[in-house]
Amino acid sequence: MQEDTRTHLYLVPTPIGNLEDITLRAIRILKEVDGILAEDTRTTGHLLRHLDISQSVRSFHIHNEHRTVAAIVERLKAGEVLALVSDAGTPGISDPGFLLVRACLEAGLQVECLPGPTALIPALVKSGLPTDRFAFEGFLPHKKGRSTRLKALAEESRTLVFYESPHRVLRTLQELADVLGAERLAAVSRELTKVYEETRRGTLQELHTWFTQHPPKGEFVLVVQGKF
């Protein structure tokens, strides 16, 4: 069946590590659209070269999203069909895609999200912690509101999922241990789908000790047991 190519925006998930983790439909859409909006044009360019796709790519990231949204909406209204991709995973999850999606919907434009990779689900499933109910928190605030958010989560009974950078993972593990309890069970996954993929399981204190002795590298997903 021919894809509906009326004026709209495609959200196209890209691999979180292993470049084979992309759907046939995603590849076709990236070839057919009039242009691609990318968080980092260099990262997306590498993927497109791997897939043998020649397509125009323009930047759309957290530093320019507010001033470019209106211009992108006007391009879509004029009849262009665009794809939005993030550096890795599904656009709109812990990246600047939300503002563009909202603006498109407010303008009456069709937005379609393809299914595909996201780091939180594999990390959650392989954690060994309950998956029937979970709360995805993304990145904790770096400064303002961080303490308040952590205290609010102390009573959360669902499994908690966080994203974290290697530069802050030790701090986050320590703060989670302080607020939720050092004996709270957790799993830390890093470099999902890549050569050096690793998942460590234990208490928050044990995990903090491990990564103190083994300097964190790569992108992290923290899965923490809810209050029981």
- Domain ranges for the chain: 8-113, 120-224
- Neighbour count for residue 63 (Cβ, 10 Å): 9
CATH topology of domain 8-113: Cobalt-precorrin-4 Transmethylase; domain 1 (3.40.1010)
- Whether residue 137 contacts residue 161, with contact meaning beta carbons closer than 8 Å, is answered with yes
Q: What's the pLDDT score for residue 1?
A: 38
Band of the pLDDT at 61, cuts 50, 70, 90?
Answer: confident
- The SS3 call for residue 197 is coil
- Whether residue 192 contacts residue 126, with contact meaning beta carbons closer than 8 Å, is answered with no
Q: What's the pLDDT score for residue 67?
A: 72
Residue 220 CB-half CA count within 13 A: 25
pLDDT tens digits, 150-174: 999 999 999 999 999 999 999 999 9
The mean pLDDT value for 200-226 works out to 97
- The DSSP result for 84-135, as a single string, is EE-SSB-TTSSSTHHHHHHHHHHTT-EEEE-----SHHHHHHTT-S--SSEE
Residues 6 or more apart from 212 whose CB is under 8 A from it? 170
Global confidence as pTM: 0.89
Q: What's the pLDDT score for residue 3?
A: 53
Q: What's the pLDDT score for residue 161?
A: 98
The mean pLDDT value for 61-85 works out to 86
Separation of alpha carbons 180 and 217, rounded Å: 25
Closest CA to 156 of 138, 173, 135: 135
According to DSSP, the residues that pair with 189 across neighbouring strands are 199, 221
CATH topology of domain 120-224: 3.30.950
Closest CA to 170 of 140, 135, 215: 215
pLDDT at 18 over 60: yes
Give me the phi and psi of 212, to 5 degrees please. Answer: -70, -40
pLDDT tens digits, 83-136: 999 999 999 887 778 899 999 999 999 999 999 999 999 999 999 999 999 999
The mean pLDDT value for 186-190 works out to 98
Decide if 8-113 and 120-224 have a common fold: no
Band of the pLDDT at 228, cuts 50, 70, 90?
Answer: confident
Determine what percent of the chain falls in helix, strand and coil, rounding each to the nearest 5.
35, 20, 45
- Whether residue 130 contacts residue 186, with contact meaning beta carbons closer than 8 Å, is answered with no
Residues 6 or more apart from 96 whose CB is under 8 A from it? 39, 60, 61, 62, 65
Q: What is the overall mean pLDDT for the chain?
A: 93
Q: What's the pLDDT score for residue 96?
A: 76
pLDDT at 62 over 70: no
Q: What's the pLDDT score for residue 66?
A: 67
Residues 6 or more apart from 123 whose CB is under 8 A from it? 161, 187, 189, 192, 199, 221, 223
pLDDT at 184 over 90: yes
